[in-house]
Amino acid sequence: MEGWTIPWIACSLVIGAPVLLLATLGLALLLETGISERMISRLVQFSVLTGLTGAVAMLVWMLATGERDVPFELGNWVSIPQQHFHFRLKFLFDRLSIPFAIMTYLLVGTIGAFADKYLHREPGFRRFFMCYSLFLLGMILSTLAGTIETLFAGWELVGLSSALLVAFFQERPAPVRNGLRVWTVYRIADAAFIVAAVSLHHLTGEGDFDALTGYGAWPTGQTTMSAGQALFVGSLLLVAAAGKSGLVPFSGWLPRAMEGPTPSSAVFYGALSVHLGAFLLLRVSPILERSPLLCGLVVGFGLATAAVGALSARTQTDIKSALAFACVTQVGIITAEIGLGFRYLALCHIIGHASLRTLQMLRAPSILRDYHTLENAIGGRLAPSSRIWQRMACSRIGTSLYRLGFERGGLDASLDRWIVRPFLKLLTACDGWERRWTDFLSGGGSRESDQVRPAPQPLEELL
């Protein structure tokens, strides 16, 4: 086993660095040590560099030895044999996870250095980096996950930190509302994910990707599931991926996520967490192969997303929403590529898209200057629209297409109308029955909260 010391060290660096960062930052904040901005930024630098070194070392080792599939077992953490339940921590280094992990470290590290200056003197500086380290750990856990429960753990951390960062400016109502919305969509995705995981356990008795994706290194694994099982589990995973990656019909959350500080929007929604759904589909690609119908579904969802995204991106008038829909478009195309079986293409596309979009997002506030420079270079005003559109704009179809893009494909509104409202109505009705029942039992008004008016306080100092 002597040859295994290098990968073991590398693996512990890759995983250990974000764990350590989260633990140190978390403890420092919990104990109210008043940790300084400089200290935080050093910690972040150190752990990102350590993790990155580990990942690169692993890559070099794998290239040198020709290993393609290196698993690391950390044993069962929870085990309930009667229920056939175990929580097994296992990490997997292969051609999918290594590039993803390196990309994560590079982008997150760059953003860390950026945010250190960008958020200088911001009251939420520490809170930001707390979410940041949570996010880093979540990303690394999910990319390197070797079992579905590990992936889920990482996936949850990413979701939690993302929602908290959307609501970063918690003193204003809009970020909190949109953060809640993102969180809700994530919960739906999580629910689908967990149902898929449970069914997988039932079908195969374990949560290893081996069972899910068959045996053999990515992307050539073969699954042992039947086509029907694959379709069922696969569809649930597709819903999970759709929620996380902003596919149709959930695309509306992505532009809403632009509430946080620019760097967090850039790295989280522009580059990393938005690709997590696609990553999941890549991870389970062997079951896609099993069921052509499932592949068709994936392609369909992907293309529909790309169409809505492309249409909406053209009508956006602010830079961040435009970039968000551009992102939706490309993620849709990536999903379609996965459905069509182009794994490596999809992987390249993800890496290229993440890098480019992060740069664009970070430079978003430069848009005025960029346009000014471009106008000077061209020697006149920029013509925004293509000739085809100019011809089409006056027609009925033109207006209809514009309206569709303007209303962002009507996705959010339809979700609100067909899902949220019926759901709320049902719950309100339940609440009404309960109130009637408790009123009856207590023989009068049973709820004190009914008396409290939800009045906002006016500016106190002006009184």
Partner 1 sequence: MTTVLDVEQPSTESDPLTDRLEALRAIIEHAAHLLPAQGPITAFVHHNTLHAFEHLPFETAVVQAAKVFGCHPFLSEEHYRRELERDRIRESDLEAVLREDLGPAADDPLLGVTRLDLRMTMLRCPVRTAPAAELRWLVAEADALRRFRSAATPQMRSRMIQDTRRWVMREVRSKSAPRPGDACRPVWLPDLFREFGGAAEDRWSDEAWESFTLSTLWRLCVEGVRDVRSFAEPHIEPVRHRDVLLEAAGVDADLEVHETLIRFCAAFVDQGFAPWPLPGREFGLLDAFVELHSGGPSVSFNWMADVRRDLQDIRRQGRSPLESIDDSLRRLGVRDDERPDFIRATLLALRGWAGMIQQLETRSDRAARPLPRGSLVGFLAIRLLLDLHAARHLARSHLGRDVDLRTLRSELRLSLATASGPAAESRAFQMFQVAQFVGWKPAELAGLTKSDWSLLLQEVESFSSLARRRVMHLAFERRYRLRALDAISLRAAQKPAERVTPQFQAVFCIDEREESLRRSLEELCPSVETFSVAGFFGVAMYYRGAGDAHDIPLCPVIIRPQHWVREEVVESLEDEHRRRAQQRRLLGQASHHLHVGSRTFTVGALLTTLFGPLASVPLIARVLAPRLTGQLRRRAAQVVQPPPRTRLRLERRAEQPGPTGDHVGYSVEEMATIGERVLRDMGLTRHFARLIFLIGHGSNSLNNPHKAAYDCGACAGSAGGPNARALAKLLNDPGVRKRLAERDVPIPAETLFVGGWHNTCDDALQFFDTESIAPARRSELLDALSVLESACDQNAHERCRRFLSAPLDLTFEEARRHVQERAEDLAQTRPECGHATNALCIVARRSRTRGLFLDRRAFLQSYDPTRDSPDAPILTRILQAVIPVCAGINLEYYFSFVDPIGYGCGTKLPHNVASLLGVMDGPSSDLRTGLPWQMVEIHEPVRLSFVIETTPETLLRVLDANPALKQLCVHRWAYVSTLDPSSGRIHDYRDGRFEPYVPQSQELPAADTSAEWYRGWRDHLGFALIRDALHPVRPADIETDRRGA
Name residues contacting partner 1, limited to 321-340 (CB under 8 A): 321-326, 329-330, 333
Q: Which of 53, 71, 118, 235 binds partner 1 (CB under 8 A)?
A: 118
Note whether 131 binds partner 1 by CB under 8 A: no
Three-class secondary structure of residue 71 per DSSP: strand
Distance (Å, whole) CA 246 – CA 254: 6
Note whether 310 binds partner 1 by CB under 8 A: yes
Note whether 386 binds partner 1 by CB under 8 A: yes
Q: Which of 156, 414, 435, 446 binds partner 1 (CB under 8 A)?
A: 414
Closest to partner 1 by CB, 90 vs 320, is: 320
Least distance CB 47 / partner 1 (angstroms):
17
What is the total count of residues that contact partner 1 (CB under 8 A)?
Answer: 115
Q: How many CB atoms lie within 10 A of CB 97?
A: 26
Closest to partner 1 by CB, 92 vs 415, is: 415
Note whether 366 binds partner 1 by CB under 8 A: yes
Least distance CB 342 / partner 1 (angstroms):
10
Least distance CB 315 / partner 1 (angstroms):
5
Stretch that binds partner 1, among 62-70, 84-92, 293-301, 368-376 (CB under 8 A): 368-376
Helix (H) or strand (E) holding 161: helix 148-166
Q: How many CB atoms lie within 10 A of CB 83?
A: 8
Distance between first and last Cα of the chain: 76
Note whether 364 binds partner 1 by CB under 8 A: yes
Closest to partner 1 by CB, 52 vs 281, is: 52
Stretch that binds partner 1, among 58-66, 207-215, 251-259, 294-302 (CB under 8 A): 251-259
Note whether 306 binds partner 1 by CB under 8 A: yes
Handedness of CA 50, 55, 56, 61 (dihedral sign): positive
Note whether 117 binds partner 1 by CB under 8 A: yes
List the x/- string, 90-109, binding to partner 1 by CB under 8 A: ----------------xx--
Closest to partner 1 by CB, 78 vs 382, is: 382
Q: How many CB atoms lie within 10 A of CB 351?
A: 18
Note whether 449 binds partner 1 by CB under 8 A: no
Distance (Å, whole) CA 153 – CA 70: 20
Q: Which of 1, 30, 31, 459 binds partner 1 (CB under 8 A)?
A: 459
389-395 contacts at long range (C-beta below 8 A, 24 or more positions apart): 389/314
Stretch that binds partner 1, among 57-65, 66-74, 174-182, 238-246 (CB under 8 A): 174-182
Note whether 41 binds partner 1 by CB under 8 A: no
What token pair was written down for 377? 């270079």
Closest to partner 1 by CB, 384 vs 443, is: 384
Q: What is the DSSP letter of 260?
A: S
Distance (Å, whole) CA 49 – CA 176: 33
Fill in the amino acid letter for 190: D
Closest to partner 1 by CB, 65 vs 399, is: 399
Helix (H) or strand (E) holding 129: helix 125-144
Note whether 360 binds partner 1 by CB under 8 A: yes
73 CB-near residues (< 8 Å, 6+ apart) = 88, 89, 90
State how beta strands 85-94 and 69-80 pair: antiparallel
Note whether 258 binds partner 1 by CB under 8 A: yes
Note whether 320 binds partner 1 by CB under 8 A: yes
**CA-wise closest residue to 70 among 195, 217, 194:** 217
Distance (Å, whole) CA 392 – CA 401: 10
Note whether 31 binds partner 1 by CB under 8 A: no
Fill in the amino acid letter for 424: L
Note whether 435 binds partner 1 by CB under 8 A: no
Closest to partner 1 by CB, 192 vs 282, is: 282
252 CB-near residues (< 8 Å, 6+ apart) = 408, 411, 412, 415
Q: Which of 12, 235, 315, 446 binds partner 1 (CB under 8 A)?
A: 315
Q: Which of 150, 161, 213, 358 binds partner 1 (CB under 8 A)?
A: 358
Distance (Å, whole) CA 193 – CA 247: 15
Note whether 116 binds partner 1 by CB under 8 A: yes
How far is it between the farthest Cα atoms of the chain?
Answer: 80
Note whether 34 binds partner 1 by CB under 8 A: no
Q: Which of 54, 138, 175, 207 binds partner 1 (CB under 8 A)?
A: 175
- Which residues on neighbouring strands pair with residue 219, listed in sequence order? none
